[in-house]
Amino acid sequence: MDNLGRNLPITIVNAYYLLDNRTISSKEKPTLGGTRIKPRKRNIAAPLDPAAFSDAVVQIYLDNAGDLVVFTGGRTQPGTTKPDEGERHSYSIIDCEPQREAILPSVIYIQKILRRRPFLIKNLENVTRRFMQSLELFEENERKKLAIFTALAFSQKLSGLPPETVFQPLLKDNLVGKGLVLSFITDFFKEYLVDNSLDDLIAILKRGKMEDNLLDFFPSSKRSAEGFSEHFTKEGLIPLVEYNEKKIFEVKLKDMKSTLTTQIAEETEMSEVIESVKQRVKDAKLPDIEVVRILWDILMDAVQWSGKNQQQNANAALRQVKTWAQLLNTFCTNAKLELELMYKVQMQCYEDAKLMKLFPEIVRSLYDQDVLAEDTILYWFRKGTNPKGRQTFVKALEPFVKWLEEAEEEE
């Protein structure tokens, strides 16, 4: 290799391009005496030939006009304190400006090397893992450079960096406790989202088994939904905050549905069920209309339907309404929510053939149990806006409405 090759700072920590002496060049292959070996028509380079590799690296360096940045020198091992570990080369990510324009050429450079010599991919993975475990050895500005490099590596789909290689090593108690991990991951998120969508970021987090564990990046004193929202809102990552709030909401909603389903199946005391729902509604900050919809869906899902026997199905549905009317009444606290419940009944009867003819009976039962007020039923009958099955249901409800109107006149 010429002087350029010998002086080239192509190391990704401690010169991984150096190969062992087990490689035998094509000129040194042994031959059998007196046997003529027919030369191949094409030249096949030895996969670990040091000379060919060094030439390829030099060519990459020349193609990039010598303007390359790599990880070299300095403290590169966990726990290292030796001042003579190695000097940082001027062409180093750790020594350049903390900007994507300065670091991106390095990513592209390493990418080209890995394409030519895939056996280095594992080395890059190992080096990255050590970097993540050694954040405390770097200054704040240097950690930012590492975060930018890592984000750009994912953006460029650099081989040798599976997400778990980055995220899992970060979860060391001492690094998390000092806030170093949160600072690093924040810089990573901000840089990655410059060129990629939130869905892309979530996909990476999912592959790294961190999608549901984002709070693990936070020190224990800040490890809360409020702490998460406050931190990333301040950093301008509003979409990430909204995503996390949605995830929390979905988890709490699922928990409420699961608990209520179990309580209904076990015929838990009404007062206990009502208090349980109230607490979960408060924790999840569920809108009142959403609560009414959820309650109706869960109650109907819990009915023991009996195949094609219409009468048995009708009896089972009406029995469920009567049994849990107090639960519905607790959360249908005004005319708007009562109307929403009627729309839910309308939609279910429209979509479920076994309930199609049961609409007027369910409405009548809800009225008898004081869940639906007379004014709500009359409003739906005269001005209801949901068109699905409306004509059929209005006609089916006419006798009951007529009865209500006559009773009103008599009063």
Based on the fold, state whether residues 206 and 312 are members of the same structural domain.
no
Select from 214, 243, 258 the last residue of a domain.
214
Query: Whose structure tokens read 């060129």?
Result: 195
Paired tokens of 177: 């406790």
Based on the fold, state whether residues 199 and 316 are members of the same structural domain.
no
CA 149 to chain centre: 22
Provide Rg for the chain, Cα atoms: 34
Task: Give yes or no for residue 156 having a pLDDT over 60.
Answer: yes
Contact at 8 Å (CB) between 244 and 225?
yes
Contact at 8 Å (CB) between 123 and 12?
yes
Question: Phi/psi of residue 19, each to 5°?
Answer: -110, 160
Q: What is the pLDDT of residue 263?
A: 93
Per-residue pLDDT tens for 320-338? 999 999 999 999 999 999 9
Paired tokens of 37: 């070996």
Select from 159, 183, 214 the last residue of a domain.
214
Per-residue pLDDT tens for 219-257? 999 999 999 999 999 999 999 999 999 988 888 888 889
Comparing CA positions, the residue from 169, 199, 203 lying closest to residue 184 is 169
Based on the fold, state whether residues 171 and 50 are members of the same structural domain.
yes
Could you tell me if residue 233 is inside a domain? Answer: no
Could you tell me if residue 155 is inside a domain? Answer: yes
Mean pLDDT of 130-152: 91
Could you tell me if residue 39 is inside a domain? Answer: no
Per-residue pLDDT tens for 58-116? 665 556 544 444 554 444 444 444 444 455 555 577 778 888 898 898 888 888 888 88
Print the domain residue range for 87.
3-20+46-214
Based on the fold, state whether residues 55 and 179 are members of the same structural domain.
yes
pLDDT band at residue 26 using 50, 70 and 90 as cut-offs: very low
Q: What is the pLDDT of residue 226?
A: 92
Contacts of 112 (CB under 8 A, 6+ apart): 60
Q: Rounded to whole angstroms, how far apart are CA atoms 204 and 109?
A: 23
Contacts of 217 (CB under 8 A, 6+ apart): 170, 171, 176, 181, 182, 185, 210
Based on the fold, state whether residues 175 and 60 are members of the same structural domain.
yes
- In the chain, the amino acid numbered 65 is A
Could you tell me if residue 257 is inside a domain? Answer: no
Select from 164, 185, 214 the last residue of a domain.
214
Per-residue pLDDT tens for 363-389? 999 999 999 999 999 999 998 888 988
Task: Give yes or no for residue 55 having a pLDDT over 70.
Answer: no
Paired tokens of 42: 């094409």
- CATH number, domain of 306, equals 1.25.40.180
Task: Give yes or no for residue 213 having a pLDDT over 60.
Answer: yes
Question: Phi/psi of residue 92, each to 5°?
Answer: -145, 140
- In the chain, the amino acid numbered 193 is L
Question: Phi/psi of residue 269, each to 5°?
Answer: -55, 140
Question: Phi/psi of residue 240, each to 5°?
Answer: -70, -40
Q: Coil, strand, or helix at residue 227?
A: helix
Q: How many CA within 13 A on the CB side of residue 20? A: 1
Output the CA torsion sign for 210, 211, 213, 217.
positive
The tally of domains found in the chain comes to 2
Mean pLDDT of 114-122: 85
Based on the fold, state whether residues 74 and 191 are members of the same structural domain.
yes
Q: What is the pLDDT of residue 367?
A: 94
Q: What is the pLDDT of residue 114?
A: 86
